[in-house]
Amino acid sequence: MYCRFCGKEIKDKAVVCTGCGQPIENAEGKSIAGEPWSLMVMVGLVVATLFVPPIGLVFGIMGLMNEAKKVQGAILTTIGVFMSLLLTAIILGL
């Protein structure tokens, strides 16, 4: 298979082109990599993570496994780890 943007040969199961970084589309014209979470979903996940850190950790790891959500996953994971440490320190009275 070849990238329709730069013409570089790519693997059939690739989700992004290694030559130009563009997402690969399937026959229906939809990106194989998926779509990132919408702004409202991200706001909801961040707010939920502030109160229940495991939510951020779980959704963050799920996001890291999806090419389209990698940055959002990193953000949620970071917030989840930070809030987990902060709540642990508060509980232990540090």
Q: Tens-of-pLDDT digits for all 94 residues of the chain?
A: 888 788 888 887 777 888 888 877 754 555 555 688 899 999 999 999 999 999 999 999 999 988 788 899 999 999 999 999 999 999 998 7
Q: Residue 46: in which H helix or E strand, if any?
A: helix 39-51
Domain count, the chain: 2
Give residue 94's pLDDT: 74
Instruction: Count the Cβ atoms, other than its own, within 10 Å of residue 31.
Output: 15
Residues 18, 9 contacting (CB under 8 angstroms): no
* 45 shares a domain with 25: no
* 79-88 core/surface letters (b: 16 or more CB in 10 A; e: else): bbeebeeeee
Give residue 92's pLDDT: 93
* 45 shares a domain with 74: yes
* 19 shares a domain with 43: no
Q: Which domain holds residue 1?
A: 1-33
